[in-house]
Amino acid sequence: MTLLHSSSRLIVKSALQSTIKRTPTPLAFASSLRSSRQPTAGIVHQNRSFASGSAPAAPSLRTSRKQRARGITSTPVVEVEGQEPSHAATDDTIIHEYPEEHEFVVGDLGHSTDGPEVDVGKHSKRTLASFSMTEKVCVVTGAARGLGNLMARTFAESGANSIVILDLDEAQAQHAAVDLVAWFEEHGGAKKGEISAIGLGCDVGNEDAVKSVFGKIVDKYGRVDVLVTAAGIVENFPATDYPADKFRKLMNINVEGSFFCAREAAKDMMRREAPGSIVMIGSMSGVCVNIPQPQSPYNASKAAVRHMASSLAVEWASKNIRVNVISPGYMATALTRVILDRDPDLRDAWVNLTPMGRIGEPEDLKGAVIYLASDASSFTTGAELLVDGGYTRT
């Protein structure tokens, strides 16, 4: 594995080592991509579609009662006049440079291949058939990389034949779609032409753009069966310093973007009088005030997504359109790896505050998204799956 570092650009090249057998049988919950690696540096993305569900990171100015109870000391925010806080995770902090074909950012795509060879996608014949995504048209926003990309690839691994990758940057969305198909044909057991994936550009916070892109999806595939709203941004500022324009931008993308996309998907499902599944990516930050980072607007946006999903679930239940939420805890995403590499003490704090004693891996979300997107959850709507290692239960 080679780590390339140039100024603020971070790229990891990783050789494809593992062999994944793609079958239309369901994804086994016990199967994961976890290898022996430790979380490594990744990328904070410049566009609007990174790590929307992972709880963001930036140390607070003081130690909380919960921290003191667990023997954790605070790490002050380092501020320089004219600059954002040193740990602020914003979409302007680090420039994203998309890897060349067959180069993978560790932890940023659906199948990380560093470390020992792993067996993924080899499913038990006795796995419930209702977990299969075969013949479903799956749309994932913010899917050029990060958690969204992992979920798009998880659908392919679980048998989906038609996958749409939406992202603010259309070129990167198209690159991700081409790479997904090539990867599964070369390494995942898919026959040539078995998987169709397209990448489309879309600003999810722009209502007209969302209407237009869903029209293109229906023109291409005839329908939308599954939608995952993974596009989102996070910024960490003390509330007293939070710029109004950044507040509006965050709410527009995280809240309005989720609503606009869910609405267009539901319209298609209603038009066809067909069932469907919408999975919104929330965060444990919408359930509790996680520490130590200052992020009131982000927390509020994820709380809004959470309640919006519940409301839409009830409103659309009679149409057999299910709306559910996955709320991740602290995840070793590309975004958080950059921050945690700068601040090992923060990593220790997150681990100590999580009852399971570790930070989640993106692969920990694969079973959750397949359950909620597939027919296995046909009587589940308005639910929230907390994938947080028990954080919100303490």
Answer for the pair 133, 43: CB distance below 8 angstroms, yes or no. Answer: no
User: Which runs of E-coded beta strand occur in the chain?
Assistant: 2-6, 9-13, 137-141, 162-167, 196-201, 226-229, 276-281, 321-328, 384-387
Protein fold of 2-16+39-77+89-113+132-393: Rossmann fold (3.40.50)
Q: Is 302 a catalytic residue?
A: yes
Q: Is 35 a catalytic residue?
A: no
Residue in 283, 301, 327, 374 annotated catalytic? 283
Q: Is 319 a catalytic residue?
A: no
Which tokens belong to 329?
């805890």
Burial zone of 178 (CB within 10 Å; 0-12 exposed, 13-18 middle, 19+ buried): middle
d(CA 253, CA 307): 16
Angle at 205 (CA atoms; ends 204, 209), nearest 5 degrees: 60
Residue in 35, 54, 112, 302 annotated catalytic? 302
pLDDT 10s digit of each residue in the chain, 394 long?
A: 333 333 333 333 333 333 344 544 444 333 333 333 333 333 223 333 333 444 444 333 344 444 444 444 443 333 334 444 333 333 333 233 323 333 334 445 544 333 333 333 444 567 789 999 999 999 999 999 999 999 999 999 999 999 999 999 999 999 999 999 999 999 988 999 999 999 999 999 999 999 999 999 999 999 999 999 999 998 888 999 999 999 999 999 999 999 999 999 999 999 999 999 999 999 999 999 998 889 999 999 999 999 999 999 999 999 999 999 999 999 998 778 888 999 999 999 999 999 999 999 999 999 999 999 999 999 999 999 999 999 999 9
Residue in 98, 221, 298, 371 annotated catalytic? 298
Answer for the pair 188, 156: CB distance below 8 angstroms, yes or no. Answer: yes
For 276, which DSSP code?
E
Answer for the pair 276, 321: CB distance below 8 angstroms, yes or no. Answer: yes
